[in-house]
């Protein structure tokens, strides 16, 4: 039963991380900006969250209630990376794929380089940043623990994003920018403004995902174990639809969590097979529905004002 409890806790945390990362890509691409830099932004988010959850920042062991403040500060600081990505893609009209790849490299390099020095500065003697909230997670009481609360909060954020994007006037304009920005521009609506908002919100969600990553590790090594790339896979497999993305986030999270426990290995299934199942599912779905799962029409294409 203890192993089942651990499986549920890890599944809740993994789902929250992956769904937040997928929502990051969703927000950006719905406005026509491809954000492949989610993984790098998550690395920076994890680094900032390590700072804002440290004893040095709070002057002592932080109470669990301060997690909201720490996460909000993390999201705000991660927007710096988002602003860089937005400037390069929107104003310099650089290739979105190359810009996102650069963000990934910069984010990983900065987090890896600064991690040991910041860890020692915040907590003398430590070589890696550690989440001071980690011990607050009651890993033995899954259904009533903090992991479930974190999962429900991220799920609620996803529901709000889905409602705003699909059911409001602002959301209609938001989606139109990603489908036909020139038509939006012809109506006197600022395409640039919506794209900037989209990328900044996208980076904030990536920062949230990076912060939550520290809830599943004892110490931060400078990377987020490619969770950002898994989030992109969920975005594509889910066909840029929030409900389907949430379902695939749970599937990916379940098998990733199972690979870290003995739940499936006790049944004689090798650990590597369990870990590879989500990727196999992704390949099969894309093979049979790749033509249907299409991104926004203007996704990845630089906006030229006045062009038709």
Quick one: pLDDT band at residue 140, thresholds 50, 70, 90? very low
Contact 115, 193 (CB under 8 A): no
pLDDT at res. 37: 95
Model pLDDT for residues 242-279, shown as the tens digit of each residue: 999 999 999 888 888 877 666 666 777 777 777 777 77
Model pLDDT for residues 169-194, shown as the tens digit of each residue: 999 999 999 999 999 999 889 999 99
Model pLDDT for residues 72-120, shown as the tens digit of each residue: 999 999 999 999 999 999 999 999 999 999 999 999 999 999 999 998 8
More confident residue, 142 or 200: 200
Residue 156 pLDDT greater than 90, yes or no? yes
- Record the pTM: 0.91
Helix, strand, coil tally for the chain in percent (to 5): 70, 0, 30
Residue showing tokens 């987020």:
224
Buried b (16+ CB within 10 A) or exposed e, 61-97: ebeeeebeebbebbbebbbebbebbbebbbeeebebe
Quick one: pLDDT band at residue 139, thresholds 50, 70, 90? very low
The CATH code that applies to domain 2-289 is 1.10.3470
For the chain, what percent of residues have pLDDT higher than 70? 91
Residue 195 pLDDT greater than 50, yes or no? yes
């Amino acid at each position: 039963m203890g192993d089942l409890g651990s499986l549920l806790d890890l599944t809740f945390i993994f789902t929250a991380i992956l769904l937040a990362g997928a929502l990051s890509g969703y927000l950006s691409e719905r406005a026509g900006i491809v954000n492949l830099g989610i993984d790098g932004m998550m690395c920076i988010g994890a680094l900032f969250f390590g700072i804002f959850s440290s004893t040095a920042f709070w002057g002592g062991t932080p109470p669990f209630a301060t997690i909201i403040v720490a996460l909000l500060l993390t999201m705000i600081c991660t927007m710096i990376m988002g602003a860089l990505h937005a400037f390069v893609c929107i104003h310099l009209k650089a290739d979105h794929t190359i810009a996102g790849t650069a963000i990934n490299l910069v984010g990983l390099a900065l987090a890896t380089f600064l991690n040991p020095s910041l860890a020692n500065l915040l907590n003398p003697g430590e070589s890696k940043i550690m989440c001071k909230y980690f011990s607050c997670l009651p890993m033995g009481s899954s259904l009533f623990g903090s992991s479930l609360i974190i999962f429900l909060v991220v799920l609620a954020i996803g529901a709000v994003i889905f409602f705003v994007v699909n059911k409001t006037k602002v959301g209609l304009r938001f989606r139109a920018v990603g489908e036909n920005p020139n038509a939006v521009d012809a109506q006197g609506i600022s395409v640039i403004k919506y794209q900037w908002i989209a990328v900044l919100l996208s980076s904030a969600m990536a920062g949230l995902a990076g912060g939550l990553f520290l809830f599943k590790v004892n110490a931060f090594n400078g990377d987020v174990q490619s969770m950002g790339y898994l989030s992109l896979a969920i975005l594509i497999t889910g066909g840029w639809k929030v409900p389907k993305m949430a379902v695939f986030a749970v599937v990916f999270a379940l098998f990733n969590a199972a690979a870290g426990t003995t739940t499936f290995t006790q049944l004689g299934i090798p650990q590597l097979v369990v870990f590879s199942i989500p990727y196999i599912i992704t390949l099969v779905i894309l093979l049979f529905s790749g033509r249907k799962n299409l991104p926004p029409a203007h996704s990845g294409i630089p906006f030229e004002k006045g062009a038709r």
